[in-house]
Each structure stands twice: as structure tokens, then as C-alpha cells.
Amino acid sequence: MTRNKMITFDRGNSKFIYRIAGIIQNGGKVLLHRSEHEQIWAMPGGRAEMFEPSDKTIVREMMEEIGIAVIVKRLVYMVENFFVYEGVNCHEIGMYYLLEADKNSKIFAHEEFDGDEGGIRLIFKWFDADKLNGLPLYPSFLRTGLGALPENATHIIHRDK
């Protein structure tokens, strides 16, 4: 992966991020991840590269991070997300896709497993989709939004404090 092609722009104390994430379900559970040095959970995914369609980005990211092929089912959320991370004001455009993976895939064999992002250990874990309220999951609308996915693609403007 060539990080210089990732769509992220820094301007002083502000950052713009174009992030693509995947929703993988297993029964009533949803797959989340975090880096080993953080306590904040997020949807698996990453940043799109220049001129890369977002649905191709999530397929690439799943292969890079956990070594599995996925099928993109549909777009669920388009999110304009505003938040502060480590003192930096962030403006993130996020595309959240519902994904399908082969039920024989290694990700369904364990409640928790490791992945990799450029040498950084990622922790992947299955969570009950309707019991995310107390979890440090961001963007925070996902704490309820993953329990009942909308039937049609939904645009959300969201601010986390």
C-alpha cells in the first residue's frame, strides 16, 4: 500500500479524511476493530486512494487488514463526521457498506482475532449489535445505528464531542 495516495489533507490543526468502512454481521453480532494502542472501537476499513471507487476501497482494505475477500452488498450510510482526535479538528466523509464474507472464513471462527495495518496490530472482535451503547465506538451514532440498519442508503451529519 502506498500511503501517499490516501485521501487525507492536513491544514494547520485540521484534518480532512475520506474513510470507507465495512459492516460485517454474524447472527446478531457485528465486527468492530481497534488498534492495539487505543481503546476506541470503529468499523473496519480505511482511507480511499485517489481515483479509487469507495466500494473497491473496502474490498482492498478487508484483504489488507484481515486477508479475506468480501462482497459489497449495498451502501448503508454516507456520513459527514466532525470530531476532535488527539487535539486535531477532523472532518471525515465516511461511506459505510454492508459486506458479506464466506461463512467458512477464518473471521467467523473466533470471537476475537488479530489483523494488521502497515505493521500496527489491529484487534478485531464480534459485538452484539443491539448492545453497543456503553462501548467507546465512534462515530457514536453507530452504537444504535448498527442495531437496526436502514433499508436505504442514509445520509448523516454527525458531531462527536
Mean pLDDT estimate for the chain: 95
User: Is this structure's pTM higher than 0.85?
Assistant: yes
- pLDDT tier at 133, thresholds 50, 70, 90: very high
Please say if the pLDDT value at position 129 is more than 80.
yes
Number of neighbours of residue 59 by Cβ within 10 angstroms? 19
Residue 4 has pLDDT above 70, yes or no: no
pLDDT of residue 6: 87
pLDDT of residue 93: 98
Residues 6+ away with beta carbon under 8 Å from 118: 1, 3
- Ordered alpha helix ranges (H), the chain: 54-66, 142-145
What backbone phi and psi angles, to 5 degrees, belong to 44?
A: -60, 145
Is the backbone peptide bond immediately before 136 cis, with ω within 30 degrees of 0?
A: no
